[in-house]
Structure 1
C-alpha cells in the first residue's frame, strides 16, 4: 500500500523543478515558468515531506484555470494526482469560480474526463505534443 501524502500550499518557485522534470525535461528550466505565477495559487502533494506532485491554480473573475500539473512518474497511478485535482476544484469553488478549465495533453484527456472535464474546440500543438482545452462547470 502506498505511503500517505498531504497537500499543502507552496511557493511558485517550489513547482519549477517538478514541472521541468515531468512536463518539459528537454526544455530550459525557464520554459516551465508562467508569467503570472506570482498571482496564482500553487499546491504540492508531499509524501514523507518530499514533493511528489504540483499544480497551479489561477482564478480570474469566476473562471478558474489549472496549469502545470505534474506528478513524479513513480508516484503516478496511486491517487495522488486525483486528490490534488480534487483539492484544486474545491479551492477554485472557495475562491468563487463557477467553472474550471485547462489545456490538457491529449494523452491525459481520459484522466481529466473522469473529473467531468469535457473537450472544447480543436486539438492544438505545443511543439510536437497534442493538446485539447477541457472544461467543466463547478
Structure 2
C-alpha cells in the first residue's frame, strides 16, 4: 500500500479540469467555475506529481462551506478523498470556523456522514442530480 498523497494549496484555476471531468463532464467548462473562487481556499491532492483530488473551501465568519469536491475516479476508494476532507475540516477550524457545510450529492451522503455531517433540510436538485445539505459543528 502506498503512502497517502501530498495535499497542497492550489490556485482556483488548477481545480477546473478535475471539477469538470468528475462532477459535470456534460456541461461546458465554465459551468464549474465559481463566481467567488478568488475568495476561497483551494486544495489539491497529488499522487506521483499528478493532481488527483480537489476541494474548495469558503469561510465567512464562523461558518465554512466546501464546494466542488472531486476525486479522479481512478483514485477513488483509496482514502485520498477522506484524507483531503480531514485536511479541510482542520483548515476550516484553523481559519476560525465553528460550523462546516456543503451541498452534497445525495448518493454521497453516506460518505459525509462518516465525517460527522448530518443532512439538513429537504432534497433539492441541480439539473437531474439530487442534493442534500450536510453540516456539522467543528
Q: Deviations over 1:79-99 (max 9, x none)?
A: 000000000000000000000
Give CA deviations for 1:50-70 in whole Å, capped at 9, x if unaligned: 000000000001000000000
Give me the whole-angstrom Cα distance separating, in 2, the residues matched to 1:36 and 1:85: 20
Q: Which runs of 5+ in 1 are unaligned?
A: none
Aligned residues: 138
Indicate if the aligned counterparts of 1:57 and 1:88 stay in contact, CA closer than 8 A.
yes
Q: How far, CA to CA, are the matches of 2:67 and 2:87 in structure 1? A: 14
RMSD over equivalenced CA pairs, Å: 0.7
Q: Distance in 1 between matches of 2:116 and 2:128?
A: 26
**Corresponding residue of 2:62:** 62
Structure 2: segments with no counterpart, 5+ residues: none
Ranges of 4+ aligned residues in structure 1 off by more than 3 Å: none
Match of 1:133 in 2: 133
Distance 1:121 1:2 in 2: 39
Once residues 2 and 104 of structure 1 are traced to their aligned partners in structure 2, the CA distance between those partners, rounded to angstroms, is 29
TM (norm. structure 1) is 0.98
